[in-house]
Amino acid sequence: MIRIALWVLAALYLLLVGLWPPALAPVALTLSGGATLIAAVPGVVWVAAAVIAWLKHKPTPAPAKTA
């Protein structure tokens, strides 16, 4: 029984080692493409976009309570 379990574990290990890199390749390509797009835009533009988004969605202050 142990012998069969070891063979099954060996087969699963070989499948995992053989299939993991090709399965991960599209994810790695997507991340590197996204990093390229982020790097292509100047930092000043990202800062300006962040400031504009913050000003547009800034929470309104709560009205002051008067006694």
pLDDT digits (tens, 9 = 90+) for 23-63: 889 989 999 999 999 999 999 999 999 999 999 998 888 88
State the pLDDT confidence band at 16, using cuts at 50, 70 and 90: confident
H or E, element range at 24? helix 2-40
What is the rounded distance in angstroms from the CA atom of residue 64 to the CA atom of residue 52?
26
What is the rounded distance in angstroms from the CA atom of residue 23 to the CA atom of residue 40?
27
What is the rounded distance in angstroms from the CA atom of residue 16 to the CA atom of residue 9?
10
Q: What is the pTM of this model?
A: 0.48
* Site of tokens 């299939």: 19
* pLDDT for res 67: 63
What is the rounded distance in angstroms from the CA atom of residue 2 to the CA atom of residue 6?
6
